[in-house]
Amino acid sequence: MAVVFVLGPGMWDPDKRTPADPGPLQVRRDIAKNLKTHGHDVILMEDDPDREGEDLIDKFDRLLRHRVTDVVLYSVLEAGSRSRYLTAVARLGLRPLEWETDGDLHEQIRLLATEL
């Protein structure tokens, strides 16, 4: 089975979303749960403990090099600096999936999970 690194922002820009919207971290946790249901190991940066002397980029690099076979990037279409490592991830040759509703997103993740 795959080792999937699920990336994306931890929160919405508070000026652009309401508190009723599920935060992107929760969406990523739902994605991870779906992937785990299909037997894959999943890594979220927030769930891996920080190491002494390690900054965010060091942690990202360490986790990416740790048995990762696939990367899922939950991209947010908000203007501004939403990710310090998005460019590095884009160079991995990601295949974008498009969705319009939460149901569409979860269906895309279920299909992806069976392909991995």
| Residue 73 DSSP SS3 | strand
Q: What's at 110, amino acid-wise?
A: R
Contact 34, 72 (CB under 8 A): no
Question: In sequence order, what are the residues at sequence separation of 6 or more whose Cβ sits closer than 8 angstroms to the Cβ of residue 3?
Answer: 40, 41, 42, 43, 66, 67, 68, 69, 70
The 10s digit of each residue's pLDDT in 14-60 is: 776 666 677 888 989 999 999 999 999 999 999 999 999 999 888 98
The 10s digit of each residue's pLDDT in 62-110 is: 888 888 888 888 876 555 555 555 666 666 666 667 778 888 888 888 8
Measured between alpha carbons, how far is 91 from 68 in angstroms, rounded to an integer? 15
* Per-domain boundaries in the chain: 1-10+23-69+96-116
- Residue 63: both structure tokens together: 């986790």
